[in-house]
Amino acid sequence: GKEIIEIKGLVKGSTIRCKNIGKDITASFKNLVGGEMTGYNDMLTEARQIAIGRMVDEAESMGVNAIIGMRLMSSSVAAGAAEMVAYGTAVVIS
């Protein structure tokens, strides 16, 4: 029910997180017996929160009051490391 007054452009936030040896060992056991890899799940949840927070910080520095079309993307950047990116369009709404 809001009206977009101005489109400021793309905003993004990202982080690269590495798994530690403890999580790696636990994940190896889970791979054998099955089940949720809670260590990785926790790592990705934290990565999403950090990426979104950085995107919001960038948007606030542009003087906007909303982000539309937000998306999350993850990718493997190295063995044992993943990047999480949050991005969207920064807008001013009334």
Q: Give the C-alpha separation, 35 to 52, whole Å.
A: 28
Tell me the pLDDT tens digit for each residue of 14-33. Answer: 999 987 655 555 555 555 66
Q: Give the C-alpha separation, 32 to 29, whole Å.
A: 5
Contact residues for 75 (Cβ-Cβ < 8 A; gap 6+): 82, 83, 85
CB distance 51 to 85 below 8 Å: yes
Contact residues for 57 (Cβ-Cβ < 8 A; gap 6+): 13
- Could you tell me the pTM of the whole model? 0.81
Tell me the pLDDT tens digit for each residue of 58-86. Answer: 999 999 999 999 999 999 888 778 899 99
